[in-house]
Chain A
Amino acid sequence: AQKVTQTQTSISVMEKTTVTMDCVYETQDSSYFLFWYKQTASGEIVFLIRQDSYKKENATVGHYSLNFQKPKSSIGLIITATQIEDSAVYFCAMRASGGNYKPTFGKGTSLVVHP
Chain B
Amino acid sequence: EAAVTQSPRNKVAVTGGKVTLSCNQTNNHNNMYWYRQDTGHGLRLIHYSYGAGSTEKGDIPDGYKASRPSQENFSLILELATPSQTSVYFCASGEGLGVYEQYFGPGTRLTVL
Contacts and interface: CB of A to CB of B under 8 A. Distances in A.
Interface of A: 33, 35, 37, 43-47, 50, 91, 95, 97, 101-108
A108 B48 contact: no
B102 A47 contact: yes
Interface of B: 31, 33, 35, 40-45, 48, 50, 56, 58-59, 88, 90, 92, 95, 100-104, 106-107
Contacts of B106: 43-44
A45 B104 contact: yes
A103 B104 contact: no
Nearest to A105: B43
Contacts of B90: 45
Contact of A103 (B45, B50, B103): B45
11 contacts: A35-B101, A43-B107, A44-B104, A44-B106, A91-B42, A101-B50, A101-B95, A102-B48, A103-B48, A105-B43, A107-B40
A50 B100 contact: yes
Contacts of A50: 100-101
B99 to A, nearest CB: 9
A107 B102 contact: no
Contacts of B101: 33, 35, 47, 50
B111 to A, nearest CB: 15
Contacts of A105: 35, 42-45
Contact of A107 (B41, B103, B107): B41
Contacts of B41: 107
A95 B35 CA distance: 15
Given A95-B100, A105-B35, 7 more contacts: A47-B101, A91-B42, A101-B31, A101-B50, A102-B48, A106-B42, A108-B42
A97 B98 CA distance: 12
